[in-house]
Chain A
Amino acid sequence: MTIRTMLLWSFYLITLTAFFRVEADGQVVDRVYHPYVLANEHRLEWRFMSRQTDEENYLAQRIGFGHSVNERWILELYLIGERDIEGNFGLEAYEVEARWMLTEQGRYWADWGMVFEVEKRHSKEQWEAASGLVMEKEFGRSSLTLNWFMIYEWGDALKDELESEFRLQYRYRWMPQFQPSIEFYSGEDYVGMGPAIMGLQRFDGQKQLKWELGFITELSNIGKDHTLRFALEYEF
């Protein structure tokens, strides 16, 4: 099976299910994935996300450790903490994530990858599985990145359902430490957009620190709904 055939089948499976209507019960703003994997890479990651609406402040953080198993695959494990309805912050879920670089960077008109995630809620029989198709296209010093995700949830007190999400990032690679972008998120009856920056600082060898900061505003709601997201990654 060629890469083209695999990609087409993956895409058809993902997008066919996108026609189902979905219920709102999750957080859509996260990070926009890029389709690249670097061999011999280890990474520690911390993600922070705070969503402020008229009614509540939702807070989630996750820490992860990743390791590239070869030139095309990277595996990452996460511990996810969230603030519950009583205002207490604690461990809420675990997640395993695999990213697959489908095409060599720059070889084709656009670069493609896939993301697979399985998440289990802590102390509950609640599960979530997601698969995503990732595309990136370079235009000189700018990059357009698109993510399509299909998410399936099942378990205790959950209605088995399929959800879809779409994420977009248009980034200008101005300098390594400062790369401004615009991000767009949709899914679960949510549409949001806002500015973001990302950057990196290199140290010895493969060691580098990457950061991302974004402020996303919900567009389809007249009420207050802002999300601040922040991510820090140390690669070594």
Chain B
Amino acid sequence: MLRYYKRLLLLTVIALNVTFSARAELPEFHLTLNHNLFYPQRLEVPAGEKIRLIIDNQDDAPEEFDSFDLNREKVLFPGRFTVIYIGPLEPGVYHFFGEFHPNQAKGQIRAISKGHGGAD
């Protein structure tokens, strides 16, 4: 059992160090929420890279960004910028919506690989 915990300890130390190892600046992309609509409704991002998605909620009420495709769920407080870290994504289309206005506040992120025209 002691050997087992030693191995576990070693693996976790490695995981912690990898977690916080030096990383490059992430590319930033912006979305705006206004009158319960996301702008732009279709956002193109590079595939295979982690990105910072910055959402400006210009409405007077909170919204909740939700995407099963992206595995993200986050409250967008009114009058604030919210940062959501996404990816690296495989090329493709990833849908998202606002939980409080799912029929209006919706859009998609299209992850595009370099050298290709677009994701279908």
Contacts and interface: CB of A to CB of B under 8 A. Distances in A.
30 contacts: A4-B16, A8-B16, A11-B12, A19-B2, A21-B1, A36-B73, A38-B64, A38-B73, A40-B62, A104-B85, A105-B74, A105-B84, A105-B85, A106-B50, A106-B72, A106-B86, A107-B85, A108-B20, A109-B18, A110-B15, A110-B19, A112-B19, A133-B12, A164-B5, A166-B8, A173-B71, A176-B68, A205-B99, A205-B100, A206-B99
Given A105-B85, A107-B85, 4 more contacts: A18-B9, A39-B77, A109-B20, A110-B19
Interface stretch (A49-57, A117-125, A135-143): A135-143
B83 interface: yes
A89 to B, nearest CB: 34
Given A11-B16, A205-B99, A206-B64, A105 B72 contact: yes
Contact of A135 (B15, B50, B87): B15
Nearest to A176: B68
Contacts of A71: 75
Given A15-B5, A176-B68, A202-B99, A109 B12 contact: no
Interface in A1-42: 4, 7-8, 11, 15, 18-19, 21, 36, 38-40
A148 interface: yes
A133 B4 CA distance: 18
Interface in A186-236: 186, 202, 205-206
B74 A38 contact: yes
Contacts of A108: 19-20, 23
Interface of B: 1-2, 4-5, 8-9, 12-13, 15-16, 18-21, 23, 50, 62, 64, 66, 68, 71-75, 77, 83-87, 90, 99-100
Contacts of B71: 138, 143, 173
Interface residues of A, number: 39
B6 to A, nearest CB: 8
Nearest to B12: A11
Instruction: Tell me which of A107, A143, A176 has the highest count of chain B C-beta atoms within 10 A of its own C-beta.
Output: A107
Contacts of A21: 1
A176 B2 CA distance: 39
Contacts of A103: 19
B16 to A, nearest CB: 6
A106 B84 contact: yes
Nearest 7 A-B pairs (CB), nearest first? A106-B85, A39-B75, A109-B19, A107-B85, A108-B19, A4-B20, A18-B5
A19 B83 CA distance: 40
A104 B83 contact: yes
A144 B79 CA distance: 35
Contact of B75 (A38, A133, A138): A38
Contacts of B2: 19
